[in-house]
Homo-oligomer: A and B are copies of this chain.
Amino acid sequence: MLLDLNLGFVILKSASMIQLFAKPVAEKIQKEVKQRVSRFKLNYGRLPKISVILVGDDTASRIYTQRKGELSSLLGMDHETISFPMDVNPELVRDRVRNLNDDPKIDGILIQRPLPKTFREEEVLYWISPDKDVDAFHPVHAGELLLGLPTFRPCTPAGVMELLSFYKISVSGRLVCVIGRSSIVGKPMAALLLQSDATVIQCHSKTQNLKELTRQASILVVAAGRPGLIDASYVQPGATVIDVGIHRTQDGRLTGDVRFDEVAQIASAMTPVPGGVGPMTLSILMQNTILAAERRENKNSSLLISAE
């Protein structure tokens, strides 16, 4: 159908499509975090500090961990990476996390995923004390999010909300379709959107007639983890499309769950991959870390971010 459009129309649509780049949004958040870190240092005479647990030697995990450290430094925070070999006894890591929970110098702790198969994820989720759980993976945080209580927001879904807000794309009262139901993206994403008064359709691998549903949505958030799943036939003309997927193609390029070039012809706004959702995650992690530090120093901190 799209192939039938005349060239003039295609160019017109392309020109009017807004790319939702993370850069200005991430910079805004990081600038604000940096100011809060300075104030924190003045008020409490120490730096906020994050501890990252890294198990094994997965290359991607090592790169992510390194980036977390670099950005922490850039924003004036202290950080450490605690590495364990692939074959470490999980109990040893658990004990180390407990020590960090009790360590007054540590404000945020995170355990880099994926973990070796010897770790039981449903137990690891409870290891980090909620007040230091800057990834917001602890079930109590998922529950607070669902119930609309003050809490840490999970990084990637919160990043999507910040992107939408920065580019003034309102979700209230609008039909939003979320594809995916992972614990890290799909489920908390739907909860955050609902909190902001969106009407949410949550789709997943068992959904029948996916296209019929996605085509009704004014905003489509794709976190399916399947490269190129969404082509233009899934998208309502004029919709906003958020692509949470990131995959490396055989020829080394990065690509998302959405076929960018094709969908760009009919969407009104769209995140690029890379440079869209990806960089938001790390910025929210930094925001959660300074928030954790502030909350620990001042239990009545008015800086608490609510899930609303």
Contacts and interface: CB of A to CB of B under 8 A. Distances in A.
Interface of A: 122, 125, 138-150, 172-175, 181, 183, 187-188, 190-191, 194, 197, 199-204, 206-208, 213
A89 B145 CA distance: 29
Given A194-B181, A199-B201, A172 B206 contact: yes
Contacts of A201: 199-201
Number of identical protomers: 2
Q: Is the interface of A mostly helix, strand, loop or mixed?
A: mixed
A175 B208 CA distance: 8
Contacts of A202: 190, 194, 199-200, 202
Contacts of A140: 139-140, 143
Given A122-B149, A199-B201, A207 B173 contact: yes
Contacts of A125: 147, 149
A253 to B, nearest CB: 32
Contacts of A149: 122, 125, 139
Contacts of A145: 143, 146
